[in-house]
Structure 1
Amino acid sequence: MKIISRINPNALAYSMTTLGAGMMNSIFSFYYVKLFLNRYRISEAAFHQAQVVFMIWNAVNDPLFGYIQDNSRVPCCSRRQFSILYGAPLYGLAFLLPWFPWKQYEENDWLSGLHLIISLCAFDGLLTFVLLAQCALFAEISTKHESRLQLIKYNQVATLVGSTSILFCGLITDNMENFNYFQVFVVVVGAVATVCMCYTGLYSTTEYEQQEIVADGSQLGSAERDLSWSSVILLTKQILTQRNFLLFVTMNFFQVFHLAFCNNFMMIFADNLIPKDVLSSSIRSIMYGAGFICPQCLVLISQALLKKFGYYKIVLFSFYLEGTAAAVMFFLGPEYYYLLAVYLTANMVIVQASFSLFNLPLADIVDADLVKHKRRLPLSSMVFGTNALFTKPAQSLAPMLVVAILNQFGYAHLNNKATQPDPSLFLGLHDAMFSMICLVPLCIAALQVLTWTPFSIQNSHLTPVHKL
């Protein structure tokens, strides 16, 4: 009873969307590339075309939905909770699109390319609509650093539980080898995730809604939300001229690229670089699950460090750690299979853990914008959406570049049962894979250190931005 009484109902409601989205997003990002490359045998050209379409849509839909949610008078768009409540069922359905082929695909079938385009765009569109509303909730539930840390804590517990979907999916479906089991599993995940997100839509509240109730704020909200396109352009310009925002967006672009690199290709790299007699299928499932579960554990046990040092120093330290680990692994070489498995998992854990903290600097940027321009209401969705405009393309660039490089070394022929490719070709493929898993994190870490160091909101854990 004491534990139940100590639960913050608003933080719990907020985190339920994280739980549902985490279950679906981790499975989607981890399996879709391997599914279309290895099972549907999509051509490289069709894969790149789908990624280009996805990159454009991915960049455009975030500021578009940000504008709609910050300025619309329609409740299902203007109310964060309603956006989540009505968007959740469609989000769950979009998650199921890639896992059910429209026919028995032949190699290089054009229909598999269309299937990928629709799957990516539908899933990301609904993901953006729902999670952008949740990001705005994070900034608007409270302006206090302690309250936001509590949200982070609840969020990480939800993400921890949600990310176990990768572990159970791997164990139940033998890492997607049993595809019928896999299809049943994703249907169950989609249904449970939808229910979780609807809970947020029904039971969460924000600080600004409470203020509007007291001040009869319906007129207050409409006056500020009645914006023309010229006003939107002006507001976007005001956001883009903030130095801290530009520094954060640049750093975040590389983080999103690195995260997509890990999520989409960790399984492919491990399957090719670590012999199957070294790591069994069940151990690999645990390894892949750890890549999604351990980041949340790491953030949870770092709460005291976050309160003491703040997110700025923690994130900066993670960049140095990633770069050092990549350099050490590169000099050791690919022959140390167990160490390579630990490195692949640890790299993914660090990248995901630091990325989990990025709502904190974005929320501080929202607060700084509110204070600087003396706004009545924060432009939460627009700030988060504008950030996504510049960072989301990295989600497409990462798989495009990696697949192009891998195919230069014969990866496209790896699963071709009709022909017997030259085994020596795969020696170059394995060397290329190993170089990428070391040099890509090393270069990204160096660039992130350069862009994150000048970020000036470094002590919001001591003094809230709105009091500076």
Structure 2
Amino acid sequence: MARRVWSCFSSISTAVLYGSLSLFVSILHNVFLLYYVDTFVSVYKIDKVSFWVGETVFLIWNSLNDPLFGWISDRAFLGSQHAGVRISNPQVVLKRLQALSRTGPLFALSFLAFWVSWARPGFQFLVCLCLYDGFLTVVDLNHNALLADLAVSASERTRLNFQCSLFSALGSLSVFMSYSFWDKEDFFSFRMFCVALAALSILGFSVACWLLRQRFQGRARRDEEEDSVLKELCVGQAPLAQEKELTLGQYLKQLSKHTNFLWFASMNLVQVFHCHFNSNFFPLFLEHLLSDRISASTGSFLLGFSYIAPHLNNLYFLSLCGRYGVYTVVRWLFFLKLILSVIMLLAGPDQIYLLCIFIASNRVFTEGTCKLLNLVISDLVDEDLVMNRRQQAASALLFGMVALVTKPGQTFAPLIGTWLLCVYTGYDIFQRDPLQEVVRTQELWNPAWFSTLRQGCFHLLIFIPITCAVLQLLAWSQFSLHGKRLQSIKLQRQSASQELPIDVKDI
């Protein structure tokens, strides 16, 4: 019986095991995004000052921890050739998996800390946010870095990303299930639901990481034996020069000369801004543009559809990437965003069915683009390795540096959006003065005021995608890591290795 169970698990492909890690993250993270603010505001009754202090500290920590943990994870691989012995690729993968097997369960436990009141709301809010985001960052960095470490070829990386999208779509089902348990008055059933999700995540991380480690330990052991043989052969000879460890300052100087990284980071900053703008203002657009024209069930369907559709849609995008390349597909998506926005602008806000399709598709295509960009970052990892002649790719560190540059887009999205909304309409969604609430209620019943607010929301909905698409097309046109350039980089990385690159199909 035990042999049968083991043979069943051992037959699961590496790509499926890698993709399953996305499931164990997404089932928790989607629930976190939906409910953590409402829990602290409505259930724990956190005060406004504590809430904004916690969010401010969280924004700073959220921006800095990506490069920090990336540097901690990868500094051992930068300049690590000692006496002619290098860290082999299987050993790098094992280090990533060891980090995931430790921090994955801790990430699930930090998720549980939100749903039980164990301290003053302000203090608990700050501690929970920082702990949760810290563990999430380590998990994301190592998981994304494995995309660049497990495979070099574009087809294999596309295959890995395909599995991630498939399992992320399955993970989005936790959002739909959560509606059955969410009750602000009786929080017990929701807590039990979160405990069940966390237990599933802990079990999944432990099993998936253990199975993956079993596959790479044999190859790593063979590499260590080969290294020991090389050491014995070198006895009596002058050892090779020991390479100096690269400092953070030197790495940043090298990165500042990486032109494709700079153009990609500029484009991705706009992309992160647009993704979070859509998430932040999706309910507002439903309320002021569609609430009086569609039923509540239709609005709920659009909201749920916008969560799960990007993952399913990405499966089709990845098949296109395998045929035409990531660069071309991303450029098509930018053009599509621009064309749809112009069509909606010409049609006007009174075309309700077209407006529903545009609001949903705008978020779906924007989120779908974000899912593809990990493939581009993996290509940048290859180019960074070749350009700077590194002994081992600094995958997690480069993913962390991209996050450092693009995370401000999360902050700019609500700030710029609310400012533009106030400029267009005079409507301040953060105003909480009781007298102003009465005046606003009276004004909203005024048809002229409502028309102004609706027109302002429509302009915000249309002009943000148009502006983002134009800026992204300009930056993307300067990005040269595609076509023959990309093929040359991949060939150089493969030829620079002392061994053949790991093929996911062979493991």
TM-score range, shorter chain: 0.7 to 0.9
Shift of 1:130: 0.8
Q: Which moved more, 1:425-434 or 1:317-326?
A: 425-434
Question: Any conservation in 2 of the 1:70–1:225 contact (CA below 8 Å)?
Answer: no
- Cα gap change, 1:98 to 1:6, in 2 (>3 Å): closer
Equivalences for residues 186-205 of structure 1 within 5 A: 186-204=194-212
| Equivalence for 2:304 | 289
Distance of 1:91 and 1:397 partners within structure 2:
27
* Residue identity in the other structure for 1:214: R
- Is 1:63 equivalent to 2:67 in the alignment? yes
Q: Which residue of 2 is the match for residue 106 of structure 1?
A: none
Deviations 1:414-468 (A, max 9, x none): 8979963433544355444333222222211111111111111112798363215
**What's the secondary structure of 1:376's corresponding residue?**
coil
Q: For this pair of structures, how many residues does the alignment match?
A: 453
Equivalent runs, 1:217-296 vs 2, <5 Å = 231-275=247-291, 278-281=294-297, 283-296=298-311
Name 1:360's counterpart in structure 2: 375
SS in 2 for 1:455: coil
* TM-score (normalizing by structure 2): 0.77
Stretches of structure 2 that go unaligned for 5 or more consecutive residues are 78-90, 229-239, 445-449, 493-507
Query: Partners in 2 of 1:418 and 1:174 — Cα distance?
Result: 32
Q: 1:32 to 1:358 in 2, by over 3 A?
A: same
**Structure 2 CA distance for aligned equivalents of residues 206 and 361 of structure 1:** 29
- Post-superposition CA distance 1:77-125 (Å, at most 9, x none): 981112111111221233344455679xxxxxxx765554434322221
Structure 2 vs 1, CA of residues 264 and 360 (structure 1 numbering), >3 Å: closer, same or farther?
Answer: same
| Superposition pairs of residues 51-450 of structure 1, within 5 angstroms | 51-71=55-75, 79-100=95-116, 115-170=124-179, 172=180, 182-204=190-212, 212-216=220-224, 231-275=247-291, 278-281=294-297, 283-403=298-418, 409-412=427-430, 420-423=438-441, 425-426=443-444, 427=450, 429-450=453-474
Alignment partners' CA distance in 1, 2:194 and 2:242 = 39
Alpha-carbon contact 1:13-1:199 (below 8 Å) kept: no
Contact 1:77 1:83 (C-alpha < 8 Å) held by counterparts: no
Letter in 2 for 1:412: F
Q: Distance in 2 between matches of 1:70 and 1:361?
A: 19
Please name the residue that 1:463 is paired with.
487
Q: Is 1:454 paired with 2:483?
A: no
Cα distance, 1:11 vs. partner? 1.2
> Percent identity over the alignment?
28
Say what the alpha-carbon RMSD is for the aligned residues.
Answer: 3.9
Tell me the distance in 1 between the aligned counterparts of 2:148 and 2:242: 18
User: Which structure 1 residue ranges, 5 or more long, are not aligned?
Assistant: 104-110
- The 3-state SS of whatever aligns with 1:215 is helix
Partners of 2:467 and 2:379 in 1: CA distance = 28
Offset of 1:231 from its aligned partner? 1.8
Contact 2:20 2:163 in 1 (8 A): no
Write the distance in 1 (CA, Å) between the matches of 2:47 and 2:342: 34
Which AA in structure 1 matches 2:73? Q
Structure 1 residues 141 and 19: alpha-carbon distance in aligned structure 2, compared to 1, 3 A threshold: same
Q: Distance in 1 between matches of 2:376 and 2:486?
A: 14
Rate the CA distance shift 1:146–1:313 in 2: closer, same or farther, 3 A. Answer: same
Q: Please say if residues 93 and 149 of structure 2, whose CA atoms lie closer than 8 Å, have aligned partners that are also in contact.
A: no
CA contact 1:164–1:289 (8 Å) conserved in 2: no
Deviation at 1:76, TM superposition (A): 12
Range 87-96 or range 34-43, more displaced: 34-43
Deviation string 1:130-166 (CA, Å, 9 cap, x unpaired) is 1101111111111122211110111111111112222
Q: Would you say the 8 A contact 1:320–1:445 is kept in 2?
A: yes
Segment drifting more, 129-138 vs 415-424: 415-424
CA distance in structure 2 between the partners assigned to 1:284 and 1:327 by the alignment: 24
- In the alignment, the residues of structure 1 paired with residue 115 and residue 433 of structure 2 have an alpha-carbon distance, to the nearest angstrom, of 19
Measured after TM superposition, the shift of residue 379 of structure 1 is 0.7
Contact 1:71 1:226 in 2 (8 A): no
Q: Kindly indicate whether the alpha-carbon contact (under 8 Å) linking 1:136 and 1:380 is maintained by their aligned counterparts in 2.
A: yes
What is the CA–CA distance in structure 2 between the aligned matches of 1:126 and 1:423, rounded to whole Å? 43
